[in-house]
């Protein structure tokens, strides 16, 4: 490919073409910036960020830009930041020029290593049960234009996505796309980590298009890039193929373990999340309604939390002496045997390894809520952990112990933009490891609470409301969380 320079900028091509019938001068820079200028038209498009696909036609080539909608007086018609499809048909003067343009654009696209084959997992029952419609109307058309092939699988039952992630031939795919809420994404992570090739499998890039009740992960990803959290923009984020590392939390009780990428919560938020299920018929009102119920009939739980604070957060909690915390965690999680044997399964994850000696801290007493969060957003309009980062190796911990009811209500309202962390009733810190010893509800010697991981019950005390299924862990014995820094890979805008 020959290149020319003009004004210090290096061009792969600089030619006069026709754009939708108008004469324009078009340049393509080595950085993939396509620019056109003419008497009555002009514009630009960065292939990496704005090009969905392209097609060679008889005497022209067509570019499908997918660009942020420019705000106009009618911006209420289109959501700010929503990307819209823009077709640009360029007609070069000769067959040779047409071939050259197609070659250059294809080379630019190939260099981006975008995913070409996706496994799409769709939960038809998530959220408002719109996932099929979202896929047909908003996701599939974009995949088709981008030339991405896919295998579509609908989840038929709870844990189906986990089973599929465990069994799928990963060599057939460049990524797994969940059209769902966070629950299916979490199942995929757990399935990948239960494989014998888990070290390789967990690097498979994961994408998510919002189609559930809770879409905290995709909201966090989109918000971080200043993009609206809508299906089309989220699909384009996957097509573009940008990726980032994501921390995975290892949640363990004795030898039982599970993996989380979003959150763990105990107390008020877990009670609202799980117990409000019985008001599903109210639609999106159910959470607001049940929040009021729970605040005015406020519960306190006794217990203790211990943690290894991140640098800068050492002031929280009282020091506790754990003689050899590495040994303790390894013992508690049932990890033993040689390093070689351990790495054959993901059982080796969750141990606190490294040269540092860790100082554990503890907070005991009465709690209204304890909330661990891996990413900033918990759903489209709740941001519990404004300082959370995707792969910093820490989870953010939000604790409320004592708080008057009206202050608690105002604090919950502030969750929408993360301003709650400034409240004097909130302790907000980053931790490397965490242990929860949950106790009984104040005023009851038999009832405890619920521990909720990524929207599912992890452990529930006898007598607390909710379903009566068997849960993975027991309520009472300590549950510990450690963070595996940047273990998973996720598509991002």
Ligand X SMILES: Nc1ncnc2c1ncn2[C@@H]1O[C@H](COP(=O)(O)OP(=O)(O)OP(=O)(O)O)[C@@H](O)[C@H]1O
Tell the smallest beta-carbon distance from residue 2 to ligand X (Å): 51
Nearer to ligand X, 60 or 374 (CB): 374
Size of the site for ligand X (CB under 6 A): 20
Tell the smallest beta-carbon distance from residue 387 to ligand X (Å): 24
Ranges within 316-375 binding ligand X (CB under 6 A): none
Contact (Cβ atoms closer than 8 angstroms) between residue 296 and residue 405: yes
Question: Residue 386, exposed/middle/buried by CB under 10 A (0-12, 13-18, 19+)?
Answer: middle
Nearer to ligand X, 123 or 480 (CB): 123
Clarify whether 347 is annotated catalytic: no
From 101-109, 122-130, 165-173, 233-241, span contacting ligand X (CB under 6 A): 122-130
Q: Within a 10 A sphere around the Cβ of 75, how many other Cβ atoms? A: 12
Distance (Å, whole) CA 26 – CA 35: 6
User: What separation, in Å, do the N-terminal and C-terminal C-alpha atoms of the chain show?
Assistant: 30
Distance (Å, whole) CA 101 – CA 90: 10
127 binds ligand X (CB under 6 A): yes
Nearer to ligand X, 53 or 210 (CB): 210
Tell the smallest beta-carbon distance from residue 232 to ligand X (Å): 19
Tell the smallest beta-carbon distance from residue 456 to ligand X (Å): 6
Nearer to ligand X, 60 or 265 (CB): 265
Tell the smallest beta-carbon distance from residue 228 to ligand X (Å): 18
From 119-127, 163-171, 239-247, 388-396, span contacting ligand X (CB under 6 A): 119-127
From 210-218, 225-233, 462-470, 478-486, span contacting ligand X (CB under 6 A): 210-218
Which residue has its beta carbon closest to ligand X? 181
Ranges within 128-187 binding ligand X (CB under 6 A): 155-160, 180-184, 187
Q: Which residues, other chains included, contact 176 with Cβ-Cβ below 8 Å and sequence gap of 6+?
A: 118, 119, 120, 121, 165, 168, 188, 204, 205, 206, 207
Return the H-helix or E-strand segment holding 484.
strand 479-491
- For residues 259 to 298, the per-residue mask of contacts with ligand X, x marking binding by CB under 6 A and - elsewhere, is ----------------------------------------
CA-to-CA separations, 73 to 70, 79, 228, 247, in angstroms, rounded: 10, 12, 19, 42
Tell the smallest beta-carbon distance from residue 460 to ligand X (Å): 16
Contact with ligand X (CB under 6 A): which of 115, 212, 439, 449?
A: 212
Distance (Å, whole) CA 209 – CA 78: 19
122 binds ligand X (CB under 6 A): no
Contact with ligand X (CB under 6 A): which of 32, 53, 115, 126?
A: 126
Nearer to ligand X, 15 or 456 (CB): 456
Structure tokens belonging to residue 87: 């077709």
Residue 16's DSSP bridge partners are 25
At residue 330, the 3 state secondary structure works out as helix
Q: Nearest-5° angle of CA 152, CA 491, CA 209?
A: 50
Nearer to ligand X, 166 or 432 (CB): 166
Tell the smallest beta-carbon distance from residue 186 to ligand X (Å): 7
Contact with ligand X (CB under 6 A): which of 29, 190, 213, 265?
A: 213
From 71-79, 121-129, 289-297, 476-484, span contacting ligand X (CB under 6 A): 121-129
Nearer to ligand X, 214 or 438 (CB): 214
- For residues 421 to 460, the per-residue mask of contacts with ligand X, x marking binding by CB under 6 A and - elsewhere, is ----------------------------------x-----
Distance (Å, whole) CA 265 – CA 378: 11
From 118-126, 229-237, 432-440, 463-471, span contacting ligand X (CB under 6 A): 118-126
Nearer to ligand X, 140 or 160 (CB): 160
216 binds ligand X (CB under 6 A): no
Q: How far is CA 346 from the centre of its chain?
A: 21
Distance (Å, whole) CA 147 – CA 116: 7
Tell the smallest beta-carbon distance from residue 378 to ligand X (Å): 11
Q: Which of 182, 247, 271, 454 is catalytic?
A: 182
Tell the smallest beta-carbon distance from residue 166 to ligand X (Å): 14
Contact (Cβ atoms closer than 8 angstroms) between residue 408 and residue 420: no
**To the nearest 10°, the Cα dihedral for 256, 390, 224, 88?**
-90
Nearer to ligand X, 185 or 421 (CB): 185
The CB-side HSE value for 289 (13 A sphere, CA atoms) comes to 12
214 binds ligand X (CB under 6 A): yes
DSSP codes of every residue in 241-257: T-EEEEEEEEEEETTEE
Q: Nearest-5° angle of CA 170, CA 225, CA 175?
A: 5
Q: Which residues, other chains included, contact 30 with Cβ-Cβ below 8 Å and sequence gap of 6+?
A: 3, 10, 11, 12
Q: Which residues, other chains included, contact 397 with Cβ-Cβ below 8 Å and sequence gap of 6+?
A: 305, 307, 370, 371, 372, 373, 427, 428, 429, 430, 431, 434
The label of the residue with tokens 């709870």 reads 158
Q: Which residues have a catalytic role annotated?
A: 182
Question: In the complex, which residues of this chain contact ligand X (CB under 6 A)?
Answer: 123, 125-127, 155-160, 180-184, 187, 212-214, 455
């Amino acid at each position: 490919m020959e290149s020319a320079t003009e004004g210090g900028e290096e061009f792969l091509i600089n030619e006069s073409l026709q754009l939708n019938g108008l004469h324009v001068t078009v340049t393509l820079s080595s950085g993939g910036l396509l620019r056109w200028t003419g008497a009555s038209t002009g514009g630009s498009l960065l292939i990496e960020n704005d090009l969905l696909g392209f097609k060679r036609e008889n005497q022209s080539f067509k570019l499908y830009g997918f660009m942020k909608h420019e705000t106009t007086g009618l911006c209420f018609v289109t959501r700010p930041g929503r990307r819209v499809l823009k077709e640009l048909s360029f007609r070069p003067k000769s067959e040779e020029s047409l071939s050259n343009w197609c070659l250059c654009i294809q080379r630019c696209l190939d260099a981006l290593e975008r995913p070409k084959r996706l496994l799409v997992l769709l939960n038809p029952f998530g959220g408002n049960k719109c996932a099929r419609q979202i896929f047909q109307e908003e996701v599939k058309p974009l995949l088709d234009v981008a030339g991405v092939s896919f295998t579509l699988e609908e989840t038929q039952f709870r844990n189906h996505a986990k089973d599929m992630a465990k069994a799928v031939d990963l060599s057939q795919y460049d990524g797994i796309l969940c059209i769902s809420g966070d629950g299916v994404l979490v199942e995929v992570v757990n399935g990948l980590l239960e494989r014998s090739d888990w070290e390789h499998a967990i690097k498979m890039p994961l994408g998510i298009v919002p189609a559930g009740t809770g879409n905290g992960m995709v909201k966090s990803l989109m918000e971080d890039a200043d993009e609206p959290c809508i299906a089309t923009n989220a699909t384009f984020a996957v097509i573009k193929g940008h990726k980032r590392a994501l921390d995975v939390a290892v949640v363990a009780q004795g030898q039982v373990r599970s993996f989380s990428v979003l959150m763990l919560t105990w107390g008020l938020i877990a009670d609202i999340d799980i117990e409000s299920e019985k008001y599903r018929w109210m639609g999106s009102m159910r959470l607001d309604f049940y929040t009021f119920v729970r605040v005015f009939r406020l519960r306190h739980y006794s217990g203790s939390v211990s943690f290894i604070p991140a640098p800068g957060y050492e002031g929280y909690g009282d020091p506790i002496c754990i003689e050899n915390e590495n040994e303790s965690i390894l013992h508690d999680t049932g990890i033993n045997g040689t390093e070689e044997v351990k790495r054959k399964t993901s059982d080796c994850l969750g141990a606190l390894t490294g040269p540092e000696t860790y100082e554990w801290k503890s907070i005991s007493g009465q709690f209204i809520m304890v909330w661990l969060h891996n990413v900033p957003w918990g759903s489209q309009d709740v941001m519990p952990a404004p300082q959370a980062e995707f792969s910093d190796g820490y989870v953010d911990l939000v604790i409320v112990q004592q708080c008057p009811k009206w202050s608690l209500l105002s604090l919950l309202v502030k969750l929408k933009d993360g301003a709650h962390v400034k409240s004097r009733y909130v302790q907000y810190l980053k931790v490397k490891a965490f242990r929860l010893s949950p106790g009984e509800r104040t005023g009851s010697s038999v009832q405890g609470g619920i521990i909720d991981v990524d929207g599912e019950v992890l452990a529930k005390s006898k007598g607390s409301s909710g379903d009566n299924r068997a849960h993975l862990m027991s309520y009472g014995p300590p549950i510990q969380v450690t963070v595996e820094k940047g273990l998973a890979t996720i598509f991002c805008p």
